[in-house]
């Protein structure tokens, strides 16, 4: 039981990381109708920047504090140089161009930081354990991820629901032309949204860095999970992304933790040991397929999100 609760916490933590990534992706899609495969590259670059700055200045927090603005800047530059030219064009063009960006970023990172990968060390107090559930020591850092994820979710909720920018964002997701008709500086809004998305992706990268290794290609695996999240949540919906991210995070973690045991009981050890890792890896995609059968539009379809 305690193991189960601990895995639930792990799932929540993965879910919130996914949410950080998916939120930017779904916003960018909802507002600019842009499919951005390179979103995972920003996650990777965020992680690398943090690891590098942290090592350089020997402080996790300087790493964090330096990585985010640089990522924001990078996002803005990227938007101005490339992404801006993609608005209003075929999704196929988006896929190709952002795929090209991935090739570029992966190689650029290899060029700058080498192929070996980096690690990001935690400050001491974040490396300890607390008892969130009585009797179960749980890493403080993972608790920190959960807290940050929830804070960002709350911040985004406030931003989208209660501010003028948020009003524009919601209007943009529902009806793109209307926002233009309001005489808003669309260009600036787009650049801003893309920058914020980049920043969130980088934040996810920084948060994940101490748990995973910082390596080339790290963005792509999680990007595809984030796709699953926004497909389940409904493209363009931040709320959907939040709910779906938690669902995916928890189910994926629980699946990996408990499916092998369950399989062993039903099919015997031999069969389970071959099938279990495969099935738990596929679990989340099967979940997505199931969602598609029941709700092809996702949990919270945004009005204008589908074309």
Q: In the complex, which residues of this chain contact other proteins (CB under 8 A)? A: 29, 35, 37, 82, 85-86, 91-93, 95-97, 99-108, 110-111, 220, 224, 227-228, 230-231, 235, 274-275, 277-278, 280-282, 285-286, 288-289, 292-293, 296, 306-307
Query: What crossing angle do the helices spanning 39-57 and 60-81 adopt, rounded to 10°?
Result: 140
Q: Which is nearer to other proteins, 1 or 92 (CB)?
A: 92
7-26 burial, b for 16+ CB within 10 Å, e for fewer? bbbbbbbbbbbbbbbbbbbb
Report in angstroms how near the CB of residue 6 gets to other proteins at its nearest: 23
- Rounded to 5 degrees, φ, ψ at 38 are -75, 5
> Apex CA 287: angle with CA 267 and CA 200, to 5°?
130
Rounded CA gap, 18 and 128, in Å?
24
Rounded CA gap, 4 and 74, in Å?
40
Report in angstroms how near the CB of residue 26 gets to other proteins at its nearest: 11
Q: Which is nearer to other proteins, 157 or 283 (CB)?
A: 283
Rounded CA gap, 13 and 46, in Å?
18
Report in angstroms how near the CB of residue 147 gets to other proteins at its nearest: 30
Report in angstroms how near the CB of residue 210 gets to other proteins at its nearest: 24
Q: Which is nearer to other proteins, 158 or 285 (CB)?
A: 285
Rounded CA gap, 74 and 42, in Å?
8
Q: Which is nearer to other proteins, 102 or 200 (CB)?
A: 102
Q: Which is nearer to other proteins, 82 or 143 (CB)?
A: 82
Report in angstroms how near the CB of residue 257 gets to other proteins at its nearest: 15
Q: Residue 84 corresponds to which tokens in the numbers above?
A: 């801006």
Q: Which is nearer to other proteins, 180 or 277 (CB)?
A: 277
Report in angstroms how near the CB of residue 60 gets to other proteins at its nearest: 30
Cβ pair 205, 46 in contact under 8 A = yes
Q: Residue 65 corresponds to which tokens in the numbers above?
A: 């504090």
Q: Is 33 helix (H, G, I), strand (E, B) or coil?
A: coil
Q: Which is nearer to other proteins, 58 or 107 (CB)?
A: 107
Q: Which residues contact 156 (CB under 8 A, 6 or more apart)?
A: 23, 238
Report in angstroms how near the CB of residue 95 gets to other proteins at its nearest: 6
């Amino acid at each position: 039981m305690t193991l189960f609760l601990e895995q639930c916490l792990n799932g929540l933590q993965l879910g919130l990381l996914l949410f950080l990534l998916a939120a930017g992706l779904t916003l960018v899609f909802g507002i600019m109708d842009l499919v951005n495969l390179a979103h995972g590259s920003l996650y990777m670059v965020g992680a690398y920047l943090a690891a590098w700055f942290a090592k350089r200045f020997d402080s996790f927090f300087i790493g964090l504090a330096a990585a985010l603005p640089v990522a924001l800047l990078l996002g803005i530059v990227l938007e101005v140089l490339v992404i801006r030219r993609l608005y209003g064009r075929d999704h196929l063009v988006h896929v190709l161009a952002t795929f090209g960006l991935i090739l570029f970023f992966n190689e650029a990172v290899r060029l700058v930081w080498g192929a070996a990968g980096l690690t990001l060390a935690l400050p001491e107090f974040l490396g300890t354990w607390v008892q969130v559930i009585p009797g179960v020591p749980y890493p403080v850092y993972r608790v920190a991820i959960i807290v940050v994820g929830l804070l960002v979710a709350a911040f985004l909720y406030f931003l989208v629901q209660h501010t003028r920018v948020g009003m524009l964002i919601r209007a943009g997701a529902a009806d793109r032309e209307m926002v233009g008709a309001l005489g808003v500086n669309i260009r600036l809004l787009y650049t801003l949204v893309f920058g914020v998305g980049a920043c969130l992706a980088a934040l996810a990268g920084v948060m994940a860095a101490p748990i995973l290794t910082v390596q080339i290609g790290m963005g792509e695996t999680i990007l595809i999970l984030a796709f699953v999240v926004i497909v389940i949540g409904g493209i363009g919906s931040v709320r959907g992304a939040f709910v779906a991210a938690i669902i995916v995070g928890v189910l994926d973690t629980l699946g990996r933790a408990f499916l092998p045991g369950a399989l062993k009981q039903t099919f015997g050890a031999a069969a389970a040991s071959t099938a279990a890792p495969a099935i738990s890896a596929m679990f989340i995609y099967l979940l997505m397929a199931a969602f598609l059968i029941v709700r092809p539009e996702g949990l919270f379809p945004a009005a204008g999100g589908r074309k």
